[in-house]
Amino acid sequence: MKFITVSTALFVAAVSGAPVENQIPPNIEVDLKVLPAFTPVIKGAPFVSTPGEEVKRDVADLSKRATLTVDIWIDANRAGRHEGLITDTQRCYNLGNGWNDEISSLSVPNGFGCIFYRDNGCSNNDYRLTVPGGNYIANLQTYNFNDIISSYLCYN
């Protein structure tokens, strides 16, 4: 009986196009030989940068590594599907498990900051949204970043 219930649930998820929990990780680490050049911002409001644009703000110390959870939602205002992305600082992650180009709201914890990229691979030749720690973005459309995030990198 248990087999039939599990089989039915998997079939319904496959047919409906819904992601199957734990089948694919929500974030997939990218093996970058060198981190992209960026200025880690630790204070202030989120902002968008264009490809190649250099950012000069209050900077963070990149000497320590840490782990954090970035919360993402499929709809604005923390609505719909939610996932907490367990993230190591100073590592690039591509989005998986149905999250690529699907995020509409997000939250970065205090003491960290994250840069979100439109394309995979965390490239500086890409548009990027820098979100200093302690910021919750209720609607990414505010920054023209709704449903276009494909990769991200966090720092402390």
Q: Does residue 24 have a pLDDT over 70?
A: yes
Can you tell me the mean pLDDT for 81-100? 95
Residue at 147 is within a domain: yes
Q: Is residue 99 part of a domain?
A: yes
Exposure on the CB side of residue 27, measured as CA atoms within 13 A:
25
Instruction: Kindly state whether residue 18 falls inside one of the protein's structural domains.
Output: no
Whether 3 is covered by a domain: the verdict is no
Higher pLDDT, 24 or 26: 26
Q: Which domain holds residue 113?
A: 23-155
pLDDT of residue 143: 96
Which of 11-25, 68-82, 109-123 has the least mean pLDDT? 11-25
pLDDT for res 48: 84
Q: What is the pLDDT of the chain when averaged over all its residues?
A: 81
- The DSSP result for the chain, as a single string, is -HHHHHHHHHHHHHHHTPPPTTTS-SEEEE--SSPPP---B-SS--EEE-TT----SSB---S---EEEEEEEEETTTEEEEEEEEEETT-EEEE-TT-TTT--EEE--TT-EEEEESSTT--TTS-EEEEETT-EES-GGGGT-TT---EEEEE-
pTM: 0.74
Q: For position 42, which CATH number holds?
A: 2.60.20.10
Q: Is residue 4 part of a domain?
A: no
**What is the per-residue pLDDT for 15?**
40
CB 120 within 8 Å of CB 27: no
Q: Is residue 89 part of a domain?
A: yes
pLDDT single digits (tens) 104-125: 999 999 989 999 999 999 988 8
Is the residue at 33 inside a domain? Answer: yes
In a domain, 135, yes or no: yes
Token output for 27: 């974030």
Count up the domains in the chain and report the number.
1
| Confidence at residue 1, expressed as pLDDT on a 0 to 100 scale | 44
pLDDT of the residue at 101: 97
